Amino acid sequence: MPNFLAGLGLTCSNAGPILASSFICLDAAASVGDIFNARMATAAGDVICGISQQGTDNAPNLFNALTNGLFNPPAVAAATGEAITTFGMGDIAPLQLGALGCSTGDLLITDGSGFGKKTTGAGQYAGALALQNGNAFDIISVLILSPGTKT
């Protein structure tokens, strides 16, 4: 499966961790020169450029086992300063839905927490097209649209 954004060398910005299978956007405030920083797409006006990797940055319970239960960080796709693998325009990718479900063919936007929800009207930046039905908090297959695709 192509991964066009991987060539950018995206790094998680200081805006906070990026969760797995969530919408991302470039963080213009944190990108300098050829270092491109990404953050979760959480605002209605964010131009979605891709979806974060499905897995977490560390193996489940790795630190818990190594520190005998003294340290167990939250499972995220990338923490501040870490590189992140992403899916980009034209890729079919896994996307976690938010509190609302969707139907096949729905255009999806961010729900404010980086997860997908169906568009509610014209003039919104759609990030993906749902390729299957999904209920609240399901992970579904989506087709990532061109950045800045407005409904």
DSSP of the chain? ---GGGGGT-EE-TT--B-TT-EEEE-TTT-BTTB-EEEE--STT----EEE-SS-SS-TTHHHHHTTTS------SB-TT-B--EE-TT-EEEEEB-SS-B-TT-EEEE-SSS-EEE--STT-EEEEEESS-B-TT-EEEEEEEEEEEE-
Q: What's the pLDDT tens digit per position in 31-53?
A: 666 678 889 999 878 889 899 98
Do the Cβ atoms of 25 and 46 come closer than 8 Å? yes
Measured from the Cβ of residue 60, the count of other Cβ atoms closer than 10 Å reads: 11
- State the pLDDT at residue 1: 44
Can you tell me the distance from the alpha carbon of 38 to that of 65, in angstroms, rounded to the nearest whole number? 30
- State the pLDDT at residue 3: 47
Can you tell me the distance from the alpha carbon of 85 to that of 48, in angstroms, rounded to the nearest whole number? 15
- State the pLDDT at residue 79: 81
Residue ranges per structural domain of the chain:
4-150
Residues of the chain with pLDDT under 70: 1-9, 30-34, 55-74, 148
- State the pLDDT at residue 30: 64
